[in-house]
A and B are shown apart, each in its own frame.
Chain A
Amino acid sequence: MFGAGGGTSSYREIEETDLIIMWGWGSNAREAHPIFFHHVLKGVHNGARMFAVDPRRTSSAAWADVWLGIDVGSDIALANAVGREIIHHGLQNQEFIDEATEGFEEYAAGVEKYTLEKAEEITGVPAEAIRQLAHEYANADTAQLCWTLGITEHHNATDNVLALINLSLLTGHVGRYGSGLVPVRGQNNVQGGGDMGALPNKLPGFQDVEDSEKRARFEAVWGAEVPSKAGKHISLMHEAMDDGDLTALYIIGENPLQSEADSTEMLRRLTNLDFLVVQDIFLTATAELADVVLPAAGWGETEGTFTSSERRVQRVRRAVDPPGEAHDDIAILSAVARAMGYPWVTPTAEEAWDEMRQLSPLHGGMTYARLEESGGLQWPCPDEDHPGSLFLHGRLWERPIASRRAPFHAVEDDPPVDTLTEEYPIRLTTGRRLDSFNTGVQSGRYSSPRRIPGVLDLSPEDGASIGVFEGDRVTVTSRRGSLEAPVRFDRSLRPGLAFMSVHFPDDVDVNVLTLDAWDPKSGTASGSSLWFLPDGPPRSPRSSHRRGAVGC
């Protein structure tokens, strides 16, 4: 966000804030980030009001004072209407806007057409609820705006996120204790991956790869030349694979065949490659396509660090030995380097870290010893006397502001490409469930009494109109493909909305249905419209044996 990519606040701030907005698409913090939600609930018990914005009335939304059940993909319209309402009532933090931001005029002009009525039309949410959200957010002393990224999200700053950042700038709900923007990370170390420069355009510490000065420092320490152009992010890689420009791929710890939207396309791309290397702890579906599989040591078997959603770097450690031939990633990469003719000695995790610390000012002060002692440090932590940073962007409250102003970005509503028609009348959204994780590579291996297998969640009303009962298998068809799945009724869904989890690609590969996220019009990745074919004729009702979540 305005530079380094990380949540601006700490979990403990949400316990003391006055207003919490959980803005979620396709993901449900109560289930996807349960311990983060503990902090949210502490805040709620301490008196914070809570709004939830989500097409589904999820178990997170069930805690909210107000739930806004928007249409999939209409987040920007909602955010813009909130912005307009705030401006029209003069509730914006003008001092903050004048002193610390830029681009307000364009933003204000841009949101002008998003009246409450228009937003109601686009989002489906009653204008009154939108008005309430706007007023409470603007009037709160402190407010935390949280969202969880759907796992098929590819960009750090989609228009959705920009629309929310605009709201925080409008109200000054950023850069202060208790007020901030909180993207909760989907995977243990996505944040850490970003920290370490596992982004096509960044070096460790979010330093721009195209900045020659920065590059020079790395080249000096690494003794090698760093490419001067940004690489391709994953969607561009897909394009390059399609165009035949990208013919060899080295995949570490990912299972794109099952995790990416539109898996039929993905299979084609991977099999078309000249050379595929997969380094993973399991023989995943992707690995089965590989020319070379490098068995890696997994979690619990290696040393290193993870960075959490509150920018906290914490140590991970080896508790048991890796099985068989597996080695940790550092050892494998060093061996590959040696095979390529470089005289690398395999460094320890700490040696690799210390080298990185020299180069990334954000992490400079984080020695292993300090990480150990403190239970984790939050970046920026530039030197060894620095206590780490609870929240980011405090600089925006310096007067006069000493550094760059935070920019508004006018963004426009961008409905899902996949439109609802008579032929495809139902909107699908995808996400996670409590006990499972991503494609189930790890989580599929323990026995959970809570496992909901690959099912299609439907509102009971839709079930009735289609003529199916719980447990019936149906054929589900989108404009891209078809699959079969049993039906489960979920009362937290309104008619016209369906949900599937992504955890059981082997049984029910939901990515057959979804749209490749790189479609520039996708907005949110998973907003496919569906059509149903019940298997067999409708049967008489019978009692279900599972207990459903009650939407209260």
Chain B
Amino acid sequence: MDLRALLDRPTDAERLAVDDLLGPSEEFNGRVAYGGHEARARRQLLLPALHACQDAVGSISRGALGYISERLTVPPAELYGVATFYSLFNTDEARGTTVHVCDDIVCSQYGAKGLLQTLEGSELSWEASPCLGQCERAPAVMFHSPGEGYGNAAPVDSDTVGNVVFDELPHGVVHQDQSQLRLLRRIGRIDPTSLEAYRGSGGYQTLTRAIELGPDGVISALDESGLKGRGGAAFPIGIKWRGVADAPGPDKYVIANGDESEPGTFKDRLLMEGDPFAVIEAMTIYGFATGSTKGYIYVRGEYPTAEKRLRDAIVMASEAGLLGTRVANAGFDFDLEVRRGAGAYICGEETALFASIEGYRGEPRQKPPFPTQHGVFGRPTGINNIETLLAALEVIEGGAGEFARVGTEQSTGPKLFCVSGAVEKPGVFEVPFGTTLGEILALAGGVRGGRGLGAVLLGGAAGVFVDFSFLDMPLTFEDTREAGATLGSGAVIVFDENCDFGPVLRRIARFFEEESCGQCVPCRIGTVRQSEALARLNDGETLGTVADELERLDDLARVMTDASICGLGQTAASAIQSAIRLQLRGAPA
């Protein structure tokens, strides 16, 4: 590579942070050097290396970037492109403690603006942030202190927002009775930092069962269970696992998608924080069933607690012989690694996630080819949502028939919904597929303050608004599809009758504008034009008539949906168009 180092040298702290991760650098010995393919393969350490510098000093300086570039033989420009892709990396002046204040759909309804005003006058540096995945306790913030780490706080108010804490937040409360729970049954009940506790609650029996069944037995059970992916696309898990298992090995991968960045979604956080060993056990079975020897858990950068729990759990599981070579004394090897995102919703999209792990900008690519043939590092890859993986454990543990008895014919098993916003008891609820929207709202205690329902945003920013006329709609893949709605990520954001949807829609539009990877024209420019049109409508400064603006919005919605590369662009107009259709208050009409 024609590397030209930046003139600036790293500080000792930066060098140390990078060397801690990569090992000390080798001296140029003048006689022989090994590089080439092997050196270039180390590029996948790029994101961890950037994190190391950001964590240590609060920025990616020129010196640090140059040093990482040298160590990983990645050209500095490429590195810069990657660093500037992620919102948690700061390529400007280093800052002290920074408060990331969520001002997204839910938090903006519950005081985010006031927090920002308070911080404006304080010494802390701050940034407005998209949803931090703590919506059940809005408003939420995340702290980052160089050298110290990350911490979440929620709910906060103007008095507490300046109290920087790094204590782990208690995991979300589960409101339901234990008898109703499968996926959530351990949350808050057992110590998530103890392998013993996990084993004591039946943990790792499923792995034993899976080994008895053999890879084919596992996949057949998943097939029969009818389990479909919970990450948004509802793809049958059996087909996916079979695809990876059938791909020629041994070089293939499995990935747990814990990027959970859809506004209004926080169920995977609960699972990763409260039941980390279950995630690891499920991944081990994934590796076993598909013949993959390496797995990744990709956790969004805003989930420090989940990340730590998983890392610790991996260490404990490895020490107990439950990961590594000859797992559980059975004849297979499996290694698991946690990768941390750095502030990019798009990295939850599977192909973007691969790019992110590989050390590239998290840009999705056109499918086909699909991940089962061409995934991370260009190798066959299985990727599933965290909740899907835990549901898979249920299938293997209780049997496919048992699992399929829950829910409807096309939507089998239990499902988690993240209820937030204007309800009495926000939180994650586990219900059988087919429970109606009204029933879910009732579980959450109904609309807050006894007010009337304004609307519900199903599936988060990429989802669809529905109003009271949908309360009897069973929440299944098929029923929502038929009704022109979606389950998406399982977000259920509730707005009461007083809500002005104008600002909500503009925030949603801004979310897509800011989170678009910028790769394809319909999304890169379309999301901006959509925001501009909403702003004009809001300000009463329409270009032509309101009808002209609505036509423009419709044109934008069509081109984004039809011609974007990935789901982000394809759904960027979905919520807004549904609000217009429902004529929600404050929506353009």
Contact = CB atoms under 8 A, between A and B. Distances in A.
Interface of A: 30, 44, 47, 49-50, 57, 59, 61-69, 124-126, 129, 459, 491, 493-495, 497, 543-545, 547-552
A66 to B, nearest CB: 6
Interface in B27-73: 28-39, 70, 73
Interface stretch (B3-11, B151-159, B402-410, B444-452): B3-11
Given A129-B32, A547-B6, 6 more contacts: A30-B2, A62-B3, A66-B32, A125-B32, A494-B30, A550-B4
A545 B1 CA distance: 22
B1 A62 contact: yes
Given A59-B2, A65-B36, A552-B1, A126 B31 contact: yes
Contacts of B6: 547
B423 to A, nearest CB: 55
B4 A549 contact: yes
A64 B36 contact: yes
Contact of B28 (A50, A57, A129): A57
A49 B36 contact: yes
Contacts of B39: 552
A488 to B, nearest CB: 14
Nearest to B25: A552
B37 A49 contact: yes
Nearest to A434: B2
Contacts of B28: 57, 491, 494, 551
B4 A50 contact: no
A64 B38 CA distance: 10
8 contacts: A44-B37, A57-B28, A62-B3, A65-B36, A493-B30, A495-B30, A549-B2, A550-B70
Contacts of B33: 57, 61, 64, 66-67, 69, 551
B34 A65 contact: yes
B73 A552 contact: yes
B98 to A, nearest CB: 31
A544 B9 CA distance: 12
Contacts of B37: 44, 47, 49, 65
A497 B1 CA distance: 22
Most buried by B among A50, A68, A494, A550: A550
B5 A63 contact: no
A63 B30 contact: no
Most buried by A among B1, B6, B31, B70: B31
Contacts of A126: 31-32
A62 B1 CA distance: 6
Contacts of A550: 3-5, 70
A415 B35 CA distance: 29
B36 A66 contact: yes
B70 A552 contact: yes
B35 A63 contact: yes
Contacts of A66: 32-36
Contacts of A544: 7
Contacts of A124: 31
A42 to B, nearest CB: 14
Contacts of A494: 28-31
Nearest to A120: B31
Interface string B412-435: 000000000000000000000000
Contacts, number: 83
Contact of A69 (B7, B30, B73): B30
B3 A65 contact: no
A538 B44 CA distance: 44
B239 to A, nearest CB: 31
Contacts of A552: 1, 3, 35, 39, 70, 73
A181 B73 CA distance: 30
B156 to A, nearest CB: 46
Given A491-B28, A551-B28, A67 B35 contact: yes
Contacts of A59: 2
Contacts of A543: 7
B32 A62 contact: no
A491 B5 CA distance: 11
A548 B5 CA distance: 7
Contacts of B5: 547-548, 550
A67 B4 CA distance: 19
A61 B30 CA distance: 12
Contacts of B2: 30, 59, 62, 549
Nearest to B28: A551
Most buried by B among A59, A62, A545: A62
Nearest to B7: A547
A124 B32 CA distance: 9
A67 B70 CA distance: 17
A68 B73 CA distance: 19
A55 to B, nearest CB: 9
Most buried by A among B2, B34, B73: B2
A547 B4 CA distance: 7
A68 B32 contact: yes
Nearest to B38: A65
Contacts of A547: 4-7
B32 A65 contact: no
Nearest to A130: B32
Contacts of B30: 57, 69, 459, 493-495, 497
Contacts of A62: 1-3, 35, 73
A215 B560 CA distance: 75
A459 B27 CA distance: 14
B8 to A, nearest CB: 10
A545 B6 CA distance: 11
Given A552-B70, A552-B73, A67 B3 contact: no
B569 to A, nearest CB: 30
Nearest to B6: A547
A285 B36 CA distance: 43
A545 B8 CA distance: 11
B7 A125 contact: no
A61 B32 CA distance: 10
A65 B36 CA distance: 4
Contact of B1 (A57, A63, A125, A493): A63
B36 A69 contact: no
Contact of B32 (A47, A67, A459): A67
A129 B1 CA distance: 21
Question: 8 tightest A-B contacts by CB?
Answer: A494-B30, A65-B36, A550-B5, A67-B33, A129-B32, A69-B31, A550-B3, A552-B73
Most buried by B among A30, A63, A544: A63
A547 B9 CA distance: 11
Nearest to A551: B28
Nearest to A56: B30
A479 B5 CA distance: 36
Contacts of B36: 44, 49-50, 63-66
A426 to B, nearest CB: 13
Nearest to B39: A552
Contacts of B38: 65
A456 B343 CA distance: 47
Contacts of A30: 2
B31 A64 contact: no
Contacts of B34: 65-67
B294 to A, nearest CB: 21
A50 B70 CA distance: 20
A549 B3 contact: yes
Nearest to A31: B2
Contacts of B29: 494
B326 to A, nearest CB: 31
Nearest to A71: B31
A538 B39 CA distance: 38
Contacts of A57: 28, 30, 33
A550 B34 CA distance: 15
